[in-house]
């Protein structure tokens, strides 16, 4: 996935926590990885390296950090996660596969 933004992605050091989500379009998104400090920096560096969009939402990250890796997102967070998925899709170029 290629991101097209007017500003460069934030440096990994700008965040103390990170949560990576997996979404296949069929099931609820799942927690793929999560971490704080050095692990958060590694997660964000990998996202930047692979042009995966990063959404800065500390309050949501705090909630998602309560879940375990592999957990599905609870229904109570669907609306917030839907906004992030919509944000990620909006960054795709028209010729990119979904």
Assigned domain for 98 exists? no
Residue 6 inside a domain? The answer is no
> Which CATH number does the domain housing residue 67 bear?
3.40.1690.10
Cα–Cα dist 7/65, whole Å: 27
pTM: 0.73
Is residue 97 a part of any domain in this protein?
Answer: no
Q: Are 87 and 9 in contact (CB under 8 A)?
A: no
SS3 (DSSP) at 31: strand
Domain count, the chain: 1
Q: What confidence tier does 14 reach under pLDDT thresholds 50, 70, 90?
A: low
Cα–Cα distance for residue pair 7/54, rounded to 1 Å? 12
Q: Which residues contact 98 (CB under 8 A, 6 or more apart)?
A: 25, 89, 92
CA-based angle 60:28:64, to the nearest 5?
A: 20
In a domain, 74, yes or no: yes
Query: pLDDT tens-digit profile of 50-91?
Result: 988 898 899 999 999 999 999 999 999 999 898 888 888 888
Q: Note whether residue 4 is domain-resident.
A: no
């Amino acid at each position: 996935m290629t991101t097209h933004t007017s500003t460069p992605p934030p440096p990994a050091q700008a965040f103390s926590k990170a949560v990576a989500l997996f979404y296949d379009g069929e099931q609820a998104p799942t927690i793929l990885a999560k971490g704080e400090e050095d692990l958060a920096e590694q997660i964000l560096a990998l996202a930047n390296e692979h042009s995966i969009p990063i959404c800065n939402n500390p309050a949501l990250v705090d909630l998602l950090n309560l879940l375990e890796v592999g957990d599905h997102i609870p229904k109570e967070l669907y609306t917030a996660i839907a906004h992030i998925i919509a944000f990620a899709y909006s960054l795709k170029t028209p010729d990119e596969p979904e």
